Amino acid sequence: MTLILCVSDYWQRRHYYNRLPIQPAGDTDKSQKKAVRRLLLQLDAITGNYWLRELLQQKVLRDQLQAEHKVQILWLSFHPPERDTIDYKFADMLAHTIWEHIEMEHLMSWLSTLGGGFSALGEQFERCAQTAGKISLQQLTIGLRVGDPFLQARCKLYYSISLIQRGQLRQAKQMIRAQYQFAKQHEEHDHRLVRMCLGIWLRLRYEYEERKKRRLTVKCNS
């Protein structure tokens, strides 16, 4: 028989675990009714939580209560502990996570400033455009680690600028289109991303027109 576990919290609300389905009234045979053995434990919330985890995750204590004490319903009544405990391990994990995010934001700010400078110089020097692309890839790595899809999309758009400056227009076009589709699907969360895509797309069109003019000039001169 399954051990039914009932937990009563500070506000006397009841939470049931392993509760058996309720049978219709017509199916109940009064002659077969038997007394149900209950066990009430009044515990502070900290100790009670350990009991609850043990009963839900392990079978040893449940089997022992049923086999040796014939308990069918276990009632855990929680009351506030005399002292509140601090979860130092979780606090350290949370502090480390917050510190890591702060450092990443700081690093992203520096990379954005540095990448913007190299991107501006990339209009004249291909080597600077390559460096700006590498910086964008570093930013993308950070975005992947943070798990922010919008940050990842922005980094890919920065990288597409580097591709345009280096003349890799087809690859840049595919990347911008992919980010534009993502931006339109999530436009309500980040309006800037759509505008970034449209702005870089205009730059890409300009480069295509300039390339077409150069080819016509070469063809006419030849």
Give the pLDDT confidence of 166-214 residue by residue, as tens digits: 989 999 999 999 999 999 888 777 788 899 999 999 999 999 998 888 8
Task: Answer whether residue 25 shows pLDDT above 90.
Answer: no
pLDDT tens-digit map of 183-194: 988 877 778 889
Statement to judge: residues 69 and 163 lie in one domain: no
Q: Is residue 103 part of a domain?
A: yes
Per-residue model confidence (pLDDT) at position 34 = 64
Statement to judge: residues 97 and 155 lie in one domain: yes
Q: Is residue 178 part of a domain?
A: yes
Q: Is residue 29 part of a domain?
A: no
Q: Is residue 161 part of a domain?
A: yes
Statement to judge: residues 107 and 70 lie in one domain: no
157, 196 Cβ separation under 8 angstroms: yes
Q: Which residue segment(s) compose the domain that 202 sits in?
A: 88-212
| CA 63, 69, 75, 77 torsion-angle sign | negative
Report the domain count for the chain: 2
CATH code, 125: 1.25.40
Collect contacts of 119-127 with beta carbons under 8 A, ≥24 apart.
119/158, 119/161, 119/162, 119/165, 122/161, 122/162, 122/165, 122/166, 123/165, 126/165, 126/166
